[in-house]
Amino acid sequence: MPVRWLLTLFNALAIGTILVILGLALLFFFERALINGLQETVQNRAYSAAESVLAADADEVLDPDGVENLTLEGVFIVVRDAEGGVISQTAALSTNVPENDRVWRAALEADLPAAGTTRLSSEAPEYVYAIPVSPAGNDARVVEAGASYGSVSEALVEIRRVLAAGILIALLFAVLGAYFLARAALAPVDAVTKAASAIGDGNLSKRLPVENPRDEIGRLALAINALLARLQAAFERREEALARQRRFVADAGHELRTPLTSISGYAGVLKRWGLEDRKTANESVEAIERESRRMQDFVEDLLTLARGDEKPRMKFEETDLAALAREATEDARATADSDLAIDFEAPERGVRACLDPAKVRQVASILLDNAVKYTGPGGRVQVRAFRRDGYAVLEVTDTGVGIPPEHLPLVFERFHRVDGSRSGGGSGLGLSIARQIADLHGGDIEVQSTPGRGSSFRLLLPAREDP
Ligand code: ADP
């Protein structure tokens, strides 16, 4: 059942119950008041009649003029002797004398007023009040006054009718009011529902209208909008990640294709001529070896990147970055051509930082490899370690070919190479691995370069305060 109808039903039930209880209470109150009024009137008349009986002569027990007032509002009076015989009675009772002797007998016997009901007609019972009197010089008597409850019943029927009609009308208004109130209150919910259903899969950028941000519906719409914003962001992140992954797979496939083509080409040559021609066989085997190594290096780089993407466990140690840079420089010098000057400029003090030595060493190797690779004979590579603005910095500067400005923001991207022909067989993954390691340390990597004059790469790691 819709909430609107539930609210209406609940309201109708609640108001209806209250009205019925109120009506019943009112009816009870009226009944009591009417009965009390009737009994009081009858008792008063009985006392008045008793007084006039006490004052009257033996024969004239009820003064015809005085009795007129006593019998107003349907009250009847009966005067009996000590045996119950009727001495006198009002005109209204010319035929019907209360037959029930219980009341007057009780009054006479106890010599105290007594009250009770009797039945003169079939319509309604009568209330009777009897008072014993002993006039001077006369026998004991009893004065009875009574009146029918009929008027009370009639009044109650009327009151019941009015109350029932009132309750029905009030209930009708209450139900109508509750229905329209519920409808008005729930209208914004309908609006929000419509707007929310209009937001499909593709258009997460849509938002619900917020009419009043302070009421319940407004707050609901705001909460849904915030949820939508988070969903949209998550959706976009997922799309981006998927696109990146697709690009990565395509690029990796592309990279693998070149050495594989070479290998299968040389394998063909080997098969066709290698058995007769030893020189061709040697050349082919060497080429196959070279290309396989290239592929191996490339796959190694891919694996390193993939592991880095999964937030690897880092082995942080307090390390002197300067010592680490010196070792890397010495290694590079040992393998590089002798016509290239590779120097390490030692800092005055140690440059201590909390870092993963193996990973930072890998960055130093990547930067040094690149510097050597892109610097011609007679050039110079300089390595430094120093502190700057709370960072421990490893800097590798060369006097090589440099990087064109438009490529600078892209060199850290996966597979990005400035120029395939001059890349010296690199995979384009070295600098992305370096940036990943910098990120894992909460640090950064930056580059400055002038084409034709050289480049300078800097790895920045959060430093420890010097003790
Ligand atoms: P690669 O394996 O091709 O060297 P990297 O990610 O290490 O891949 O470098 C990306 C590209 O940035 C290189 O292809 C090269 O064009 C350019 N590059 C990197 N280091 C230098 C440098 N020291 N001097 C000139 N160009 C560089």
Atom of ligand 1 nearest to the CA of 375: 24
Nearest residue (by CA) to ligand 1, atom 20, is 370
**Of 313, 416, 397, 400, nearest in space to 358 by CA:** 313
Nearest-10 Cα torsion for 395, 399, 403, 409: 10
| Domains of the chain listed by start with CATH number | 3-156 (3.30.450.20), 216-307 (1.10.287.130), 313-462 (3.30.565.10)
Q: Which of 255, 411, 412, 435 to mutate to test the pocket of ligand 1 (most atoms within 8 A of CB)?
A: 411
Q: What pLDDT tens digit does each residue of the chain (467 aa) get?
A: 888 888 888 988 999 999 999 999 999 999 999 999 999 999 999 998 888 888 776 556 666 666 777 778 888 888 888 887 888 778 666 556 656 667 888 888 888 999 988 877 667 788 999 999 887 666 778 898 988 888 899 999 999 999 999 999 999 998 899 899 888 888 878 888 887 788 776 678 888 888 888 888 889 889 989 998 999 999 999 999 899 889 888 888 888 898 899 999 999 998 888 778 888 889 999 999 999 998 998 899 889 888 888 888 889 999 999 999 999 999 999 988 888 999 999 998 889 999 999 999 999 999 999 999 999 899 999 999 999 988 999 999 999 999 999 999 999 998 888 876 555 567 788 999 999 999 999 999 999 999 999 999 999 999 865 44
The string of pLDDT tens digits covering residues 426-461 is 778 899 999 999 999 999 999 999 999 999 999 999
3-class DSSP string for 8-36: HHHHHHHHHHHHHHHHHHHHHHHHHHHHH
DSSP 8-state symbol, 398: E
* pTM, two decimal places: 0.56
The string of pLDDT tens digits covering residues 267-303 is 999 888 877 888 888 999 999 999 999 899 889 988 9
Atom of ligand 1 nearest to the CA of 416: 10
The string of pLDDT tens digits covering residues 340-383 is 999 999 998 889 999 999 999 999 999 999 999 999 899 999 99
* Distances, alpha carbon 409 to alpha carbons 119, 242, 412, 416, 447, in Å: 115, 22, 7, 10, 9
Q: Which two tokens stand for residue 259?
A: 């050495």
411 C-alpha to ligand 1 centroid (Å): 7
Residues pairing with 130 in the sheet:
114, 144
What is the C-alpha separation between 351 and 205, in angstroms, rounded?
49
pLDDT given at position 25 = 95
What is the C-alpha separation between 99 and 121, in angstroms, rounded?
11
pLDDT given at position 134 = 81
The string of pLDDT tens digits covering residues 301-316 is 889 888 888 888 889 9
Q: Which of 294, 342, 370 to mutate to test the pocket of ligand 1 (most atoms within 8 A of CB)?
A: 370
Residues in CB range of 70: below 8 A, 6 or more apart: 45, 48, 49, 77, 90, 145
SS3 content of the chain, % helix, strand, coil (to 5): 55, 15, 25
